[in-house]
Amino acid sequence: MGIPFAIKDNIDLAGIPTTAGCEIFAYTPKKSSQVVQQLIDAGAIPVGKTNLDQFATGLNGTRSPYGACHNAFNYDYISGGSSSGSAVAVALGLASFSLGTDTAGSGRIPACFNNLVGVKPSIGLLSATGMLPACRSLDCMTIFAYNTDDANIALGAAEGFDERDGYSRQNPFDNQARHYGLRTGPLKVGVIPAHQLKFFGDKSYEKAYLQTLALLKEQGFAFQEIDYAPFDEIAQLLYEGPWVSERYIATQPLIDENPDVIFPVVREIISPGRQTASNIIV
C-alpha cells in the first residue's frame, strides 16, 4: 500500500489546480512537478494540496484568503508559514509526510511549531521544475515528516538531477541517503553570542533556547560562537532588498493589473519590489 503525502499549493500535481493561495491566479497543470512524480513513481499517494501564505510570502500561516492554518496543538497559536498547511496536515495525521517550499524558513518554522522534522535541502538537490517560487534563486522544496527516518526515505525518493532546472545538481555520493545515521564522533554546533541574542521580551522563548543549549551540552555537543550580524543583514534583504524584486516578478502581471485580489499584507510586502525590478530590467 502506498504512503499518503500532501503537497503545498505552489507545487504542481497533474490535473489539480495550483493556486498559490490566490484563486484568480490558479492554473491546472498537465504534468506534476518532477519531485511529485518521482514520489508517485516510488509508490507514494498524493492526497491533496495544502493551504499556504499566499505566494509563499510569510512565516506565520495566517496570510491566506482561504483562512489561517491554526497550530496542530493549540488552536490559539499560529502554525508558522508559509508552508502552514503542509505542516499541519502531517501533524494532524492527515498525511505521512508532505512537501513544502522554503525561502527564509518556510520549511522549518512550521515544522518547529508543529513538532515535526523539517528538511530544507541545499538548492538544486530537489528539482524546482513545477514549483512556483517566491524567490527563484533561493527557493527549494522541503519535506515535513514525523521523524528523521521518514524524512530520509522521502528525501531519497525525491532527489534527482533535472536538466530543465538551471540550479539542479547531482547529489554527491557521501551525501546520499545510504549514509544516513552513520556519522560518528563529536558534533559542533554554532551558537549566537549572548550580546547578539534577541528575544523581544519573550521570556518563554529565551528559557526554551537556554534549556536547549544546556541539553545539547549535556549530551556532549561542542559549541562554537559565530558572529550573527552578517546573517541578520542578509535576512533583511528578503523583505527590504533585491529579493523582494524576485517576489514581484513571480506575481506579475497580477500585482500590476489586479492588485486588489492579492492578500493585503502580501501585497504590501511585494509591491516595493516593482521599482527595483524595473531598474534591473531597464
Give, for all 282 residues of the chain, the pLDDT tens digit.
589 999 999 999 999 999 999 999 999 999 999 999 999 999 999 999 999 999 999 889 999 999 999 999 999 999 999 999 999 999 999 999 999 999 989 999 999 999 999 999 999 999 999 999 888 888 999 999 999 999 999 999 999 999 999 999 999 888 888 889 888 888 999 999 999 999 999 999 999 999 999 999 999 999 999 999 999 998 888 777 778 888 888 888 888 888 888 888 888 888 888 775 555 444
Residue-level pLDDT at 281: 47
The residue from 32, 33, 79, 106 that is catalytic is: 106
Looking at residue 282, what is its pLDDT?
42
Strands (E), 43-172: 45-50, 97-102, 117-119, 140-145
- Of the candidates 32, 33, 64, 82, the residue annotated as catalytic is 82
Q: How many CA atoms lie within 13 A of 174 on its CB side?
A: 1
Q: What is the model's pLDDT at position 44?
A: 98
Sign of CA dihedral 170, 151, 17, 242: negative
CA separation for the pair 130, 135 (Å, rounded): 14
Nearest by Cα to 255 from 272, 235, 278, 271: 271
Within 10 angstroms of residue 34's Cβ, the number of other Cβ atoms is 23
The answer to pTM > 0.85 is yes
Domain ranges in the chain are: 4-179, 188-281
Parallel, antiparallel, or unpaired: how do β-strands 188-191 and 45-50 relate?
Answer: unpaired
- What pLDDT sits at residue 136? 87
245 is annotated as an active-site residue: no
pLDDT at res. 278: 53
Q: Output the pLDDT for position 189.
A: 95
**Catalytic (active site) residue 49:** no
Q: How many CA atoms lie within 13 A of 226 on its CB side?
A: 11
Q: Which of 8, 49, 83, 86 is catalytic?
A: 8
Reported CATH class of domain 4-179: alpha beta
Q: Among this protein's residues, is 8 annotated catalytic?
A: yes
Residue-level pLDDT at 178: 86
